[in-house]
Structure 1
Amino acid sequence: MSAGVSTQNRVQTFILLVSTDASLAQSLRTLLGQYHYGLTLCSDSSAAATEIHRAVPTVILVDGNGPTLSQIRAKPMARQIPIVAIFPSGTDCDAVCVPELEAGVDQILCRPVGVREIVAHLCAIVRREHFKATPRRHFTVANLSLDLDQHEVMLDDRVIPLTVKEFKILHELIQQPNRVFSRDELLNLVWGEEVALGEHNLDVHIHSLRRKIESHPGRPKLIVTVRGVGYKLKTD
């Protein structure tokens, strides 16, 4: 078939299977459904490329080690997606498997391999990808910590009351310590691009924030000014 056959319309996590084996697809679809994962079947790399542009899969599973695998690896969008390949029995590991792994394939399974084992490997990769994609909710720099779930900032185990804007400013800075944020960038991140505010407004909030978290606000050690550019949260 030249188009994808999909069961992932109502699920966010789905596997893109590139194979001409419809029975394998059905078996995988049944087992993956138990985990509420979907499956899209494409018969060749061209159909797979179209499907990837339509909806990005969590994992790409390629049945075989022929040109289809190398063609999929060459697709720019596929380089950001884990690829698992199923190779025929008797495949020379050193001659075939190792070069494919070095070229970007994440995992290789050799036949005979059961459907349950394939699904177990896929689920392990899905868990890993979901963990990587989970946004951080707690940040710590030196003796300062910010908790998004509690909407709380602590300094030396003391809760520091901040205004909404002060909290947002600190959140942006603490996510990327030592990175310099321009004043315009912080204004856009905290207030939004549609709100027209002068840089003085940001400076006032930074001054207030320093008074609450710095030991010597006049000589700040945490939120430092980068002259002519903006601010950064310093860790050293």
Structure 2
Amino acid sequence: MCAHVLIAEDDTMQAELVRRLLLREGHTPVVVHDGRAAIDEAKSRRPDLVILDLMLPKIDGLGVCRVLRQDGNIPILMLTARSTETDLLLGLELGADDYMTKPYSPRELMARIRTVLRRSLRPAADVRLIRAGGITVDPARHEVACDGLPVSCTPGEFAILHAMTAEPDRVFSRRQLLQQTEGHERASTERAIDVHIMNLRKKIESNPRKPVRLMTVFGVGYKLTGRPS
């Protein structure tokens, strides 16, 4: 699995370390050192993955993440020296697929990269369309539609919606939904699922504050209704 990976990191030593690790595994890395350059590079070459430092000059990582999510669903692995849960949840809310705090081990970083790339690049084994409650999931094309209109999802959001659409009206706990992301949220708590659910409601609900599709089952978790009212 060879991928084009954009590294947005202002620390030149860290950037060079990540670049060499990626080269060793057969990937094609490109390095930029500020947020403006990261946005320009991502728009011009559409990388398979963006490794995004939070503390970038010109435009910080959160700003870059926000812009990239407006333009599509490129997988994003966010790196930061900050370790507070607030920063983590904010990054996930903006659409990051995974989040690592510095210092990190090269082995762990590469494991995270492989997980995100495997999720986004591999062909789906089941090519059938999955439908429930006005939601259509196409595993082969990694596409989602709501009432026939396309919905842009991050890999983590797609994994959650895929699982819930396949079993409509089943109640999933936060821990079960966390497992569906196949390691995307290993740096987080189960509260990260609440952020993903909030983001998905903005995309598939007419009124996200009064959902009729993606429902909360208090004290248990969430379910996707098979026939929204």
| TM-score (structure 2 length as normaliser) | 0.49
**Which of structures 1 and 2 has the larger relative contact order (alpha carbons within 8 angstroms, sep 6+)?**
2
Which one has the largest radius of gyration? 1
